[in-house]
Structure formats: C-alpha cells, structure tokens
Chain A
C-alpha cells in the first residue's frame, strides 16, 4: 500500500508539474507573440493613444510578465478565462457549443477506435503469420503513417462526393440523429488514423499472452477458443488501457485537422481560426483545456493500471517505447 500511495503521489505530482509547465509555455508563447494585444483588442477601428492606454490599463497589459501570468492563472483557477476578442463574450460561453461538437466527435472516434483496434489486434494475433495478419498489419502501417486530414479528404471524396452516402460538410441542423450522421465520416477518418496504434499494441500484448504457460494449458484442456481469447484479453488489457491516454492525445490532435476538412464547427476549427485572428484568450483556453484533458486522462489511466496490476510497471515502460517508436 505504501508503494502504491507513493506511486500515486508521484504521478499526481508529475501531472501538476506538467500542467504548470504547459500553462507557462502557453502563456509565454502568447505573451511573446508579435503585435500589440491592445491593438488587436480594438480591431481595425481608428483609436486615440488615450483610448489605447485605457485598454492597456483595463487588461493589465503594462504589468510585468509574472504579474500578468499570476492574474491569468488565478482567474483560470476561478473559472474566469477572460473575454474573446473576436466575439466580445466570455470565453467559456463562446466556446461551449464548439466544445460540445468536438467532444461528441472525439467520443465517437474513441469508442470506434477501441472496438476496431482491439478487435483487429486480436484477429491479427490469432492469425499470426497468415494472410489476414499481414493484411491487417499493412493497413495499420498506412493508418499510423497517414495524417488524419489526408485520410479525411479521401473519405470525403469517395464516400460523400462520389458515393453520396454521407453529407459533405457541417453538422446539419436536424437534431441529434442528423448530427450523428454528419459526424460519422469524420469520426471514421479519425478512427482509421488512431486505431492503428491500438491494433499494434493489442497484437503484441496478445502474442505475449499466447506464449505463456496458462494459454498452452487452456488449449490442452480443450477450452473453447473464445473463452481462451477472453482470458488472454483480460491479462493483456493493461498495455491496451495505458495506450488509451496516447490515443486520446492523438484524437485531440487529429480532430483539429479533420474538423477543418469537413468544415465542422468544433474546437479544432475554432482554434485554427482564432490562431489566425490572434484571439489570444480563446487560443489560451482551448490549448490549456485540451492539454489538461490529455494529461489528466493519461494520469488517471496510469494510476488505474497501477492499482489493477502493480507488476505492470516494467511492461508499461516497454509498451510506452513501442508506442513512441510507432
């Protein structure tokens, strides 16, 4: 117990330090950005120097760097992220509808990725060396190599434009089912790019389990293959679970691009356009929120896996390296 507690504390500390570092990086990036923030606050209107000075005072733009950073952090911790420069409304209100769309898209792709990734990983491990194994591996190689926007564009062209099976852009305006229908193709494109990683990890974890004594005994006792597979899958679940954190990170990275391909009004599109518009509070908030989700998910998964299976530390490190080397 003492060990687990120490691990959890260490992981939580790592999370807090990561978030602090990220907040600092994001804030300072936007601080050193060229251009006068007061100017972009008033837009293209003609203003007097007095008005500019007033704006600078209102937003605390003349304060030293660390004072501004401290103000921003304490505001953020109280749920106040400032106002969008472009929309003139509080960042949270402005972002909420976009965030809802993106969360639906990411959740849909996450479910699809886990289902398909684990399924094809098992199929590939069970048919090791056979045609279906190499076929799945080849598709997975394309999946890991292909950027999500290129996959999205192919899908858009083939399935929406040529076959007409899916809508071409936007999220529709006809209720929940229609929106799901509009999100289906982008979600599949994201899934294709992301689930390849899960296929690879499931495959190698399942192969490790297949070689173990208990699998041999189960087979020798003529247990139904499906039950053997379920037993192996249960034991192989730690690395698969661990990689979910990385999958989530890839999904949030990929969604920015896929949303742009399908013109979906989500966080990704908002981030890209806000970056171009220099809408600093919005960019800060989206970047910080997505970073928070990714770091938080990976910390939760790490701790969960540790609690379920404390001997997984060694293996976890191994799989992390598999993930990162692709």
Chain B
C-alpha cells in the first residue's frame, strides 16, 4: 500500500486498485461465509454502540416480572427482574466479546515476543520457551481458569488475564514455527549480509511474511475466548450479578425456563451463532490461504 501511494503520479490509479482489492475477498466468498461476515458485523456494531441499539437495557420493571415472548413492547419477553430480553442480549454483547478480543490480542502479543525469540535465536532460549509451552499446553485450561478466577476473585479483567496466560503457549508455538520456516529463506540471508539489525529483520522482514498466520490464529482464538469467557460468566465468575452478559443471562434464565424460555435459549443462541460465525470465517481464511 505505502509503496503504491509513494508513486504520486499514479496516485489515483493506486487508489482505485486498493478499492478493488478491498472488494476482492468479498467477491470470492461463498454465500455461507458472507452471511457469517454480516452477522459478525452486526455483533461488532452492538459491541461498539450498545446504547444506540438498546437504550435502557438494564431498566427493571419488578412489577412485570418474567413474561413470555410476544408480550407488547417485549418481543422476546422479560427476565425475572422485568428487564427486556432482547435489549439485554444486545447490551450483553460488549461484555461477551470485548474480553475474548483482548484475550486473543494479548496472547498473540506474548506469542509474537516469546515465539519470535525462540524461533530466531534457537538454542537455550528456544529450549526453555518450548518446554514452558509444552507444559502449559498440557494443563486443563477451563479448570485452571475456574479455580483462578473463582479464588482470586477480582472480576472480569482478572479472568481475562488468566486466559491470556493460558492461551499464549499455543500462539508461541505457531509463531515459533512460522519464524523458523522463514529463517532459512534467501531474503533473510541477504538481510543478514547487509548487516541489518535483528530487530529490523524481525519487524520489517519476517513479521509481514507471517502476519497472515498470526491474524488467522488471532481470529480463531476469539471464538475459543468467547466460549471460555461465557463459561466462566455462566458459573457466575468474572461478571457481577445483574450485569448484561450472555453467559450470565443464560444461567439466570435457567431458573425461569418455564416462564420465559427465550431468555436462556436466546442467550445460548447468541453465543453459539457468534462462535460458529467466527470459526467459519477463520476456517475459510485458513483454507483460502492454504495455511493448514
């Protein structure tokens, strides 16, 4: 992009080209992936501006109580506190999605740092980092997260931090093997001969070549993070009672399954549909770029 823009005489042409490039993935998508992308865009809109789509989601109406779907003014009914289920779902997307995104980004940052060091330097650093990743990978993630989040308390961000630590070993492995795969290539040899600094080689030469692997992995981690975080909030860990969150709503809605099944079922559906969409798009990206 930058290189194209630098040739200012063809500025207009390069702009057109980049617009075409932006459309290209969309045109190449199968219908199912297009639908998934649209769903994710809608969820992203809910995350960015929940107040716009669902103003007053936490307003209670204790007199009303739990009413079934189809009640006037409440298309999906209300929960036991008389809160509108549809609005709660929309408001809950922020709590459900921000954590997983932070988990995915945080763990990939650790992955890039440690995996890059292990892959580039090899030797003792590689050995230590790889053993660390082996051991952490063999640990039951959800179990440790439940114990850590439950015992330390500390709420949402502590759970996110625990997840970042437990998710990172896999990213370390991926980045490490991607760096090793690039290391032997001629362009790195020539960069070494030019005596470019290590940091420069890693950041400007290797990173752009492994960025796609990293991005796809980041994307798939969001789906895992969503499942893990909603599992924690389902158990009542990580989110305060009364907060809008899909996992929390599912566990609260379980007790009013007779009065308004929509509360729990729709929360579950939101989690499942979002996770399926993220996974489907991630798998498609993997296959299309033959990263498997």
Residue of B nearest to A275 (CB): B150
Q: Is B138 an interface residue (CB 8 A)?
A: yes
Q: Is A235 an interface residue (CB 8 A)?
A: no
With A141-B283, A275-B151, A276-B150 known as contacts, the answer to whether A287 contacts B135 (CB < 8 A) is no
Residue of B nearest to A30 (CB): B151
What is the distance, in angstroms, from B208's C-beta to the closest C-beta of chain A? 22
Stretch at the interface among A42-50, A59-67, A94-102, A144-152: A144-152
Q: Is B207 an interface residue (CB 8 A)?
A: no
- Per-residue contact bits, chain B 264-291, to A (CB 8 Å; 1 contact, 0 not): 1100110110011011101100100000
Point out the residues of chain B lying under 8 angstroms from A298, CB to CB: 138
Inter-chain contact A256/B235, CB cutoff 8 Å: yes
Point out the residues of chain B lying under 8 angstroms from A188, CB to CB: none
Inter-chain contact A147/B286, CB cutoff 8 Å: no
Point out the residues of chain A lying under 8 angstroms from B237, CB to CB: 275
Point out the residues of chain A lying under 8 angstroms from B276, CB to CB: 141-142, 145-146
Q: Is B217 an interface residue (CB 8 A)?
A: yes
Point out the residues of chain B lying under 8 angstroms from A22, CB to CB: 139
- Per-residue contact bits, chain A 252-278, to B (CB 8 Å; 1 contact, 0 not): 111011001100000000011001101
Partner among A32, A161, A272, A326 whose Cβ is within 8 Å of the Cβ of B152: A32
Number of interchain pairs (Cβ within 8 Å): 142
Point out the residues of chain B lying under 8 angstroms from A324, CB to CB: 137, 170
B contact patch SS: helix
With A149-B231, A157-B257 known as contacts, the answer to whether A252 contacts B140 (CB < 8 A) is yes
Q: Is A309 an interface residue (CB 8 A)?
A: no
- Per-residue contact bits, chain B 229-252, to A (CB 8 Å; 1 contact, 0 not): 011001111000000000000110
Q: Is B223 an interface residue (CB 8 A)?
A: yes
Residue of A nearest to B148 (CB): A29
B212-229 interface with A by 8 A CB criterion: 217, 220, 223-224, 227
Residue of B nearest to A150 (CB): B268
What is the distance, in angstroms, from A66's C-beta to the closest C-beta of chain B? 20
Chain A residues with a Cβ under 8 A of chain B? 14, 17-18, 21-22, 25-26, 29-30, 32-34, 141-142, 144-147, 149-151, 153-154, 156-157, 161, 249, 252-254, 256-257, 260-261, 271-272, 275-276, 278, 280, 283, 287, 290-291, 294-295, 298, 322, 324-326
